[in-house]
Amino acid sequence: MSELLQSPNDGSDVIEEAPGGSRHATGGGAPGPRTSRAAALIVILTVAMIVGLSLWYLVQPQPLLVQGESDATRIDIAARVDGRVGQRPVARGDNVAAGQVLVTIDNPQIFSKLKEAQAQKAVAVADLARIDAGVREEVIAQRKAAIASAEANLALAQQTYNRTNELTTKGIAAIQTLNEATASLDVARRSLEQAKLAYDEAVTGYTKEERGIAQANVDKAAAAVTTLNTQVNEMTVRAPVGGQVYQIGAELGEYVSPGVPLLSLVDLSDVWLSFDLREDLVKGLKVGDKLEVRIPALGDRMVPIEVRTIATRGEYSGWRATRATGDFDLRTFEVRAYPTVKIPELRPGMSAYLQWSGGR
């Protein structure tokens, strides 16, 4: 048996001669160098692509998940008078209209003071009417009669003085008796002068100043009545605007003082979303920008919003401590945005999530 062999180094097949004179070929070489180079190139390109994509992803700014909260205009209703809570026809969660009664306060002392002030006003009005009417004719006649009486007394005192003086001159009456007669004559003259002045006053009537004082007393009494009427009206607390009862601060029978909150209302027609962002994240954001937020309480509903306000927080809040490397403190800004569409289900206190791509 003979075999014909080709060198395996040239990559050809080996031809073997089988018994009976037949021949067949068998593969006896390793893969060629071109196949190995292609496989290595594919591996290198795959690794380079993975590394490149990883580097590209790392250098891209990743969006931040900023959490905010919905809020609404809240009105705290406080008492302006003291007293006890008598009635409260509303409960938490009730929708009220503007002017609806919220709380009534009981204070009997205010009603007593009001009656007293009304009586004082009536007295002042009557006194002013008396002055405006002038002096009565009966008073003038009385003053005139007083002058006649004083003149008669003066005449009698004059006669008594003349007789006493004559007797004293003759040595019949004592000097003391003359002195008494002199004093009585002087008193009679003064009484006549006083009666004449009183008559002139009655005829002239009340002065302008007296009328002014009477009018001032009327105005003062009227002001007191108005003040107490205002306090009585304040005992019935009404809703200044329409809204929903958010919180109740006073129960029935509880004593309240002026300025103490009775309850709070929220205006559900004025609901907004508030977010707190550091000043390095606010750059590029401006009023009027349109964003979208996710509301978990509404089933992760996406809500379009519009930025209305960008305001800084107080200096005491939202600051980051200065690092040892010398970085500056970063203040916090409040971003307030309003939904661009009406969402009746949105309530104050609901969380909102914003995908913020303005920084890492």
Tens digit of pLDDT for each residue in 16-50? 444 444 444 444 455 556 778 787 788 888 888 88
Mean pLDDT in residue range 208-236: 93
Q: Give the orientation angle of helix 108-133 with respect to helix 208-234, to 10 degrees.
A: 160
| pLDDT for res 139 | 82
Residues 6+ away with beta carbon under 8 Å from 282 = 310, 333, 335, 358
- Inter-residue contact 165 to 180 (CB < 8 Å): no
| pLDDT for res 167 | 83
87, containing H or E segment: strand 83-87
Quote the CA–CA distance of 281 and 356 in Å, as a whole number: 9
Q: For residue 110, which amino acid is it?
A: I
Mean pLDDT in residue range 264-288: 86
| pLDDT for res 230 | 93
| Average pLDDT of the chain, as a whole number | 82
3-state secondary structure of 351: strand
Residue with tokens 């027609």: 269
- Overall pTM > 0.75: no
pLDDT of residue 241 exceeding 90 = no
pLDDT: which is higher, 46 or 220: 220
Most confident segment among 15-19, 219-223, 252-256, 344-348: 219-223
| pLDDT for res 6 | 42
4 pLDDT tier (thresholds 50, 70, 90): very low
178 pLDDT tier (thresholds 50, 70, 90): confident
- End-to-end CA distance of the chain: give it in Å, rounded: 81
| pLDDT for res 33 | 67
The share of the chain scoring above pLDDT 70, in percent, equals 83
Quote the CA–CA distance of 52 and 56 in Å, as a whole number: 6
| pLDDT for res 219 | 95
Q: What is the pLDDT of residues 297-347, one digit of tens each?
A: 999 899 999 999 888 765 544 444 444 445 556 778 888 999 998 888 888
| pLDDT for res 44 | 84
| pLDDT for res 63 | 66
pLDDT of residue 61 exceeding 80 = no
Most confident segment among 155-169, 221-235, 286-300: 221-235
pLDDT: which is higher, 32 or 356: 356
Mean pLDDT in residue range 181-206: 86
CB-CB neighbours of 36 under 10 Å: 11
- Inter-residue contact 353 to 67 (CB < 8 Å): yes
Give the DSSP letter of residue 299.
Answer: T
Q: What is the pLDDT of residues 98-136, one digit of tens each?
A: 999 999 999 999 999 999 999 999 999 999 998 888 777
